[in-house]
Structure 1
Amino acid sequence: MAKKKNFPLRIDPALYEVIERWAQDEFRSVNAHIEFLLREAAKREGRLKKEKKEQEG
């Protein structure tokens, strides 16, 4: 697995609470859920290449 980039994120507290509850519903950490949401948005907009598993299947 590639090393992940660390960076500070400033986020509205109310939005953080929404994401925190949503992450709990999905059994993810807040960090993992934010990454999931960003990855899904990037895929939807065609800005992220398909992952190897998807190409093989």
Structure 2
Amino acid sequence: MRFFEFKPIKHIKPLTPPQARIHNIKANIDHSKRALKAEKDLQQRQAEVERQRKQRLGR
């Protein structure tokens, strides 16, 4: 690689308080959506297991 192909490292500035609040709100939204999806999936699996159990007992 030649010298002119290197790019300088861009420093990341700390977020301002309003930017930090927005960042945290967005992160919480993403986390909440994942948690909700995981809970719905868990309940669906439990309901399916219960249906299968009842079907086996009903034979």
TM-score by length of 2: 0.34
With a CA cutoff of 8 Å and minimum separation of 6, indicate the structure with the bigger relative contact order: 1
Choose 1 or 2 for highest CA Rg.
2
TM-score by length of 1: 0.35
Higher fraction of helix: 2
